[in-house]
A = this chain, B = another copy of it.
Amino acid sequence: MRRSPWSCLSWLVSVPRAGLDPAAVVAAGAALADEVGFAELTMARLAERVGVRTPSLYKHIASQDDLNRRIAALAIAEAADAIGAATQGRSGRDALAAAARALRDFVVAHPGRYAATLGITPTGPDDPIVIAERRGLGPFEAVLRGYDIAPQDMTHALRALRSMFHGFATLQATNGFQWSTDIDESFEWLINFVDRALRCTSAADPAPVPGSTDRR
């Protein structure tokens, strides 16, 4: 490349270090995403936020995709910790409610971080995201152990729990429930619904009535 015509004057400027490192950049990115929305999280904005020119960010992260993945991993780990802490020492309905509320509180408090976790497809089994996710499953497993679920149904029940609370959280986060003020009430209703279903589950026969429906 061409040499800068100003390079002969470089002794004029002093460029102090900003004291950045990958973790700091990711944390700043997560905070910024919460403030301006994940879609508005841009390299230029993040650079301005941390007091640096845009290309300098690439000394700490490989790309914007890399940044997004790290934010997602951070968010999942944080959410997992929050849920774990909330369910500590509880069981049954109490634990279920605590987990659900902790997850939703996290989504409401950190919409940008949460949005970063959506639409992420892990690159492989050793992706930090996968590891964090596996950690995040722990508290839900613990909750389920408070109900007596047949062992072969654990995976299904876990997925059902994830689906429900993840679905509710995303619908609320993306304004899926229009102009309605009683969302909190619906959420509590959902918790009761799930609790009832889980207690029912152990009582009901594990197999559906044969022939009652077509199986694909």
Contact residues of A with B, CB < 8 Å?
A: 39, 93-94, 97, 101, 115, 118-122, 125, 130, 133, 153, 155-157, 159-160, 162-168, 170-171, 174-180, 182-186, 188-190, 192-194, 196-197, 200-201, 204, 208, 212-213, 215-216
Contacts and interface: CB of A to CB of B under 8 A. Distances in A.
B162 A164 contact: no
A118 B119 CA distance: 10
Nearest to A129: B178
Contacts of A179: 125
Copies in the complex: 2
A214 to B, nearest CB: 8
Contacts of A176: 162, 166
A160 B165 CA distance: 9
Question: A-B pairs with the 10 shortest C-beta distances?
Answer: A167-B167, A197-B197, A163-B167, A156-B189, A163-B168, A166-B167, A156-B186, A159-B186, A200-B200, A121-B175
